[in-house]
Amino acid sequence: MSKTIGKVAATEKAPTTIDEFFFWTDQKRILNPFDVVKVGHIDESVTFGVVEEISHITDSASYLSNYISSDFGDANQEPNMHRIGMNFVKAKVVGNNENIYTPVLDGSKVSLANEKEVLQALGLDKIKNPMPCGYLEMYSGEDKIELPVNFNSQFLIGPEGAHLNISGISGLAAKTSYSMFLLKAIHEEYEKQKNKVNDNSVAFVIFNVKGRDLLAIDEPNEELSNKQKDIYKNLNLKTEPFNNVKYFYPYAEQTGSKTFSHGNRKDIEAQIDNNKAFRYKYIFDEDKDNLDLLLANMEDASGTMESIVNYIIQEHGGFNEVGNWAELINKVSEYTKAGRKSGDKEISVMSWRKFKRIINKSLTHDIFQKRTIPDKNEIRLKEAVSNIQKNEVQVIDIAKLDQDTQAFVFGDVIRAIYELKLGQDEKRAEKDIPSKIIIFIDELNKYASKDVPKNSPILRQILDISERGRSLGIILFSVEQFKSAIHDRVKGNCATHAYGRTNAIEISKSDYRFIPQVYKNMMTRLIPGEYILEHPVFRSLLNIKFPRPLYKQFPNG
């Protein structure tokens, strides 16, 4: 039987409405924002509300009255009179079981909702295409309940809606952990479907951008407690790490391991020996068309740099004789000399010098080579991505690369996925290509912030994916510290948003204007493993929790 905790109070200055109501409750009753309460309404219907604000009031007329009642400011003195006090709660109406939305009446009893009623109130009882996204903890003490929460997967990865954006300050928001929790849930769900007669399949491309965070996602987390494992079981998820994983590391000539990575040398070599890791290179003849990606972080309002790239790709002015990256730099150097008469007269020597400065820094990196040696597990990333298989997880390590080279690799992979899904790869039949490819990228601000040059080819690709990707089956799971810094068209096309812990300056931005103030304030106090979710099928924002990762965790990583 539901526990009555108070009654609705409708006053002249604070009436109940179809959107909200107020109720009083005992001052020692523990309630929290996001808790669900129910009110008996007309025609024996029930109206559900979500707690937004909680205030404590007494019969004291002013602060001065309180001061006087404590013997004129003696903090250790017992008050001369006992103040009558109560808690006053504001609740947002989220539904009525008979769809009656007239305001609840003064004096109506307010009770705690039970598990079934909570699910009904929040629209979680009839979620189609369920995909675990965490769990709710509600109330306290003997009233405490814990409920699994599901997304509607068709609003997360299509076709109804698509793309996820996660924000939160560095270190405390656990953004990567939550992203991987969701990816694992998707991976597991599609594993169940792989033997069914349908066209549904998925693959994952994950960029590792910090240390060695994601370089062992197929190895179990030995420190995971039984309590954490039980949470996975309650969410109908297995307690095993990812499977069918391949790792791709930048090639490095000068290092003893031949790998440019924060990963442990022995671990990488073991992965290579097991044929689940590869070193990637870029070869001039096959990859020169991506030269424009090296200019992604540079403003090119006049289009001069773009003209130089086109001049090179179209093999004008002797560039048809260039066969590798070193020869390219040497040929470009010829165009940087004063008094040069050959070449496109509209491109100045100063522009060629600027172009050389930009590409020289990146093209001297060891990933730019003359050839690959397949027997040594060396590959071109574009070939690997273009050959991605159903339910395969590809982890691409770019953590140790400089920012411009990271952008080049990221752009190359995005371009390869786009071409694959557009059917430009004639080597693969459409039925063999995963119907959905999910791309996970941390630090989205590097590629799609409001400060990224408008001419950036990578920004154009991300905008295209956010706007057209759903129809193509390309889904973006993006992460950044501050949502307000991200390009409006990217975040505007994300159907699902997760908010982790952030700061007071961030919540003052326009991106948060529709979020109730008390929820915004909670965002500054969220702990790791806790998120506030916004999803199309949810009737209200939800404060969810999620368990620790199933895969191996590294110290200081």
Domain with CATH 3.40.50.300 in the chain: 150-277+378-545
Task: Please report, rounded to a whole number, the percentage of residues in the chain having pLDDT higher than 90.
Answer: 71
Helix (H, G, I), strand (E, B) or coil at 426: coil
The 10s digit of each residue's pLDDT in 314-365 is 988 889 999 999 999 999 998 888 766 555 567 888 889 999 998 888 898 9
The 10s digit of each residue's pLDDT in 473-522 is 999 999 999 999 999 999 999 999 999 999 999 999 999 998 989 899 99
pTM of the model: 0.91
Sequence-ordered strand ranges (E) for 70-217 = 85-96, 109-112, 130-138, 145-152, 164-167, 202-208
Q: Tell me which architecture the domain covering 150-277+378-545 has in CATH.
A: 3-Layer(aba) Sandwich (3.40)
Count of beta carbons in the 10 Å neighbourhood of residue 136: 21
Tell me which of 86 and 135 has the higher pLDDT. Answer: 135
The Cα 91–Cα 38 span in angstroms is 10
The Cα 88–Cα 57 span in angstroms is 7
Among 158, 135, 233, 230, smallest CA distance to 188 is for 233
pLDDT at position 286: 93
The Cα 432–Cα 77 span in angstroms is 79
pLDDT at position 557: 46
pLDDT at position 72: 79
The 10s digit of each residue's pLDDT in 157-205 is 989 999 999 999 877 558 999 999 999 999 999 888 766 656 689 999 9
Among 497, 509, 545, 475, smallest CA distance to 167 is for 497
Sequence-ordered strand ranges (E) for 334-435 = 368-369, 378-380, 393-397
The Cα 490–Cα 448 span in angstroms is 8
